[in-house]
Amino acid sequence: MDRGDRIIACYSNLLLSVSIGFLLFSVVSSQIPLGSKLTVEQNNYWFSSNKDYAIGFLNFSDQYSFGVRFNAIYIPSSEQTAIWTAGWNVKVSSKAYLELSLTGEMILFDPAKGKIVWQSKTGNTSVESAVLLDDGNFVLLNRNKSAVWQSFESPSDTMLSGQSLSVGQSLRASSRGSLTSYYSLHMNVSGVMQLRWETSIIYWTVGGPQSAVRAILGSDGILQLLDQQSQAVWSVYGEDHNDSDVKFRFLRLDSDGNLRIYSWENNAMSWRIVWQAIINQCDVFATCATNGICTLNASDSYVCWCPFRSTRDSNSECLIPYKPSCESGSSMILHEHMYLYGIYPPNNTVVQTNLQQCRSMCQKDPSCHAASFINNGTPQCHMMNSRYVGGQSDPSLGSVTFVKTCSDPIAVLPPPVPAPRKVSQKICVACLLEVAAASIVVFVMLQFSIGVYLFRRRKHMMQKSALPHIVPNATGCIVFSYSEIKDLTDNFKQQIGQNVFKGVLPDNRLVAVKDLNASIDERRFRAAVLKIGSIYHKNLLRLDGYCCESGRRLLVYELAKYGSVDKCLEEPRMCKRLTWRKRMDICLAVARAISYLHTGCREFISHGNLKCENVVLDDELEAKVSEFGLRTIQAEASSSGGLAETDVRDFGKMMVVLITGCQNADEACYLSYEKWVKAEKEMAMDQRIVVGADSEELERALRIAFWCLQGDERMRPSMGEVIKVLEGTLAVDPPPPPFAHNQQWPPDDESPSESYSAL
């Protein structure tokens, strides 16, 4: 090493020593020695070295908790939110104090209760000091300056940027008034993050099938689940993620049971919600507790109302008005578009039966108070044996609820009408003038109030529609801004289909972005996207995200490597890979996907536009159906286009296209049926198929396809029957002429033999 190198090395070592010295000084200068004490009366605090955080007693309506809060100079005191409290929901009196004892243990003592209400249990761990770090973590240190205990590992209801929630740890929501909170966010042993009510009700979950070991909120505003190699297995983005101007963020399980990310906005001087787990608050279990049924109002805020409370009942609780001891018998009151569930206890008896049987079973069972009926392909009756119920009501809900009530004739008698009082016949002119003047004043004030209300509502709605909403659903569906869509598609550079563009997510996953290019009501669009995003089936294309911003409506799907089936049929090299076996596998996969949409989802979904263009092939040539549920978004379902029978007919056409190789579906159907009638079915098969089909399997495939094409929709099979035929477990009879019902034969001037050359 020459002299210059030695000088540079010495200088570097000097800089390193100085840097370490400053770091140690900043830590030591903010360290809290043993024997230190904080009291409610003195209102004293310990601070982080950057003064962004403070720890001490926090006032909650004349009750106090000990914890950490924000303390930055530009955050007003009213917004200095608590981010950690000792002992979750422990409240103390104005005489309480906290002491870091000489044995190294934090002790929270309340003289009003005469006892220690919380302690860190670190008395025998060689603690020598404490420190509130610049990231908001309160730490007890030993003589080696190693952490013995830290608030980040004992979270209450909040996670700060950089803080992790490991397997086995939980966040617990703060209580609402005197009601103890049952809401918690939990990381279970399988690495799945769940929102729970008590321990048995899970109403939101993310993670899997990969095994995550911790959740972390990054300083960039991204919430992630990480595996053992610290690789993200699930991510969700706050609306302002990667905004370097945002200094403070936190994730909190709020008292209403919803999980939200907050960011500090300097301009507005307030905390802003940039993401929440559940967009419809009524989907949070027991949102209204026992105070009624949850429903959304015109401003998308939830309200609790009681549809079955007696007018004479002044109790604030909304209870089922039935008592097993009623002597006058019972009756069942029908409530459309309502779903109820038991809260105390939080479980229902579930029976598979029809609507009328559900009503009858509950009415005959003395212990049954109410029953909700749902038909999601499998009709289910949920019976509640308690007066304490919760639930939700919405016109989009397909469920029906029966509420039992005693058939007490006294309950329906009108209240006694008071005897009319004699009114003086004398006319008071002064009284009339006063009444008239008061009426005019009231009218003017009412008109003014209505005008102000309409102006503010219009302004609010305009602001709401102009802002991007980053609110993914429970499945982790990502909400993108339009600028992010432009970035991931490279400004819509590579078009791969009609209004479909190729894109790349930040984690290098390829996606297909479909621009709906339509004006769709925002509320209906979000509701439909939530429904589509909650559907999982290996033969349905997964929805990864969407954009709903300033009139733009886009959907982000996973990208299938080989694209649509119709393009594969056109491309010679890919067509060779579509052997007879592979084509039948595609038909079976599509049938299973459509059957799942019809009978396996919470609500019936008709595809409405099934064709080879909307069936794509992944890297293993596995078929996946795309664009399902778009009719719900675009509200295009009609009396003839939104039924299961329409999907069955379209499936039959798709089968014939795959068998014949002819892209003109109608032409292929006519000509292939003609060949089948003439016992020339082999001539109907795509001549590009190198290895021919088994004659029996070809016969079975054509028969079921022609049954699907029957003009009388009542003769078409269900998708479940189609699956059994394709699997070979159900025999199929020869079909009648599929076009006899509507006589849709080709015109007489067309030559079938000339057209058939395309097959």
121 or 527, higher pLDDT: 121
Mean pLDDT of the chain: 83
Q: What is the DSSP letter of 247?
A: -
Tell me the C-alpha distance between 222 and 235, whole Å.
7
Confidence of residue 452 (pLDDT cuts 50, 70, 90): low
Note the pLDDT tens digit of each residue in 174-233: 887 656 688 999 998 888 999 999 888 999 999 866 688 999 999 999 999 999 999 988
Confidence of residue 346 (pLDDT cuts 50, 70, 90): confident
Encode 580-600: b = buried (16+ Cβ within 10 Å), e = exposed.
Answer: bebbbbbbbbbbbbbbbbbbb
Confidence of residue 751 (pLDDT cuts 50, 70, 90): very low
Amino acid in the structure at residue 404: K
pLDDT recorded at residue 359: 93
Confidence of residue 460 (pLDDT cuts 50, 70, 90): very low
Confidence of residue 629 (pLDDT cuts 50, 70, 90): confident
Taking the CB of residue 292, how many other CB atoms lie within 10 A of it?
22
Q: What is the DSSP letter of 51?
A: S
Confidence of residue 315 (pLDDT cuts 50, 70, 90): low
Neighbouring-strand partners of residue 710:
none
Q: pTM for this one?
A: 0.56
Confidence of residue 743 (pLDDT cuts 50, 70, 90): very low
The answer on pLDDT for 455 being more than 70 is no
The answer on pLDDT for 612 being more than 70 is yes
Taking the CB of residue 466, how many other CB atoms lie within 10 A of it?
10
84 or 468, higher pLDDT: 84
614 or 396, higher pLDDT: 614
Question: Is the CB of residue 630 less than 8 Å from the CB of residue 609?
Answer: yes
Over residues 8-29, mean pLDDT:
40
Note the pLDDT tens digit of each residue in 119-164: 999 988 899 999 999 999 999 999 999 999 999 999 999 999 999 9
**Token pair of 87, please?**
């002992």
pLDDT recorded at residue 427: 54
DSSP 393-408: E-TT---EEEEEEE--
The answer on pLDDT for 705 being more than 90 is yes
Neighbouring-strand partners of residue 119:
107
Question: Is the CB of residue 224 less than 8 Å from the CB of residue 202?
Answer: no
Helix 719-727 vs helix 695-708: angle between axes, to the nearest 10 degrees? 170
Poorest-pLDDT segment among 17-21, 92-96, 334-338, 431-435 = 17-21
Q: What angle do CA 234, 237, 240 make, to 5 degrees?
A: 165
From residue 157, how far is each of 83, 162, 419, 717 by CA, in Å? 7, 15, 59, 53
User: In percent, how much of the chain has pLDDT > 90?
Assistant: 54
The answer on pLDDT for 630 being more than 90 is no
Note the pLDDT tens digit of each residue in 645-686: 899 999 999 999 999 999 999 999 999 999 999 999 999 999
Confidence of residue 327 (pLDDT cuts 50, 70, 90): confident
Note the pLDDT tens digit of each residue in 422-438: 444 445 666 667 667 77
Note the pLDDT tens digit of each residue in 566-576: 999 999 999 99
Over residues 581-599, mean pLDDT:
92
309 or 340, higher pLDDT: 340
The answer on pLDDT for 421 being more than 60 is no
User: In percent, how much of the chain has pLDDT > 70?
Assistant: 82
Reduced 3-state DSSP string for 513-569: EEECCCCCCHHHHHHHHHHHHCCCCCCECCEEEEEEECCEEEEEEECCCCEEHHHHH
Question: Is the CB of residue 272 less than 8 Å from the CB of residue 265?
Answer: yes
Confidence of residue 747 (pLDDT cuts 50, 70, 90): very low
Tell me the C-alpha distance between 684 and 698, whole Å.
10
Note the pLDDT tens digit of each residue in 47-86: 999 999 999 999 987 889 999 999 999 999 999 999 999 9
